[in-house]
Amino acid sequence: MNELFAEFWWVFLIALLVGIIVAWWIFAANRKTSITRTEPAEGENGGAKRNQALIDAAPAASVPPPTPQGMGGIEAVVAHDAAHVPPAHEAGAGDDLTRIKGVGPKLAATLRELGITQFSQIAAWGEEDINRIDAQLIEFTGRIRRDNWVEQARLLASGDTKGFEERFGSL
């Protein structure tokens, strides 16, 4: 083997150099990445120009979205619910609903948004009203029955503070 290497050393040297050049070309030379950026010409607004057609277009006609399957007749349900909302008595006038145990400031605000501002409204609720309002109190579902709001509201609406405190604790 030594005789072979001694006689053809120059072939091995050329093969080694060719191998190094090929390895460099594969691993290093092809890794060069060039990024060129073209600046918009003076007076052009690069990104906005692409969307100019959308900006200049007339607004789309106001078409209501299609009703998803299974939602047919929802208008009748909403109209029915709107007709059965207990009326707010006087604008701005209302009871402090947070006096009802289980009703905090956030829940009182939600009830006001639903048009419920007085104890007498809550005291007049029947099972259908409780179910309808409870469905609208998404984060507080079940609180009306669990905390017995109707009975509390009846006592508070009638001014029976002593009866309220005996049954539900002090205010």
Pure H helices in 28-118: 46-50, 52-56, 74-83, 105-113
- The pLDDT assigned to 89 comes to 47
Q: Please write the tens of the pLDDT for every residue from 97-150.
A: 999 998 999 999 999 999 999 999 999 999 999 999 999 988 888 999 999 999
CA distances from 31 to 20, 24, 27, 111 (A): 16, 10, 7, 66
Residue-level length of the chain: 171
Instruction: Of 128, 74, 139, 70, give the one whose Cα is nearest residue 104.
Output: 139
Residue 156 has pLDDT above 70, yes or no: yes
- The pLDDT assigned to 106 comes to 92
pLDDT band at 68 (very low <50, low <70, confident <90, very high): low
Please tell me the pTM assigned to this model: 0.46
Mean pLDDT of the chain: 79
Domain ranges of the chain: 94-168
- The pLDDT assigned to 97 comes to 92
**Spatial separation of the C-alpha atoms in residues 161 and 152, rounded to whole Å:** 10
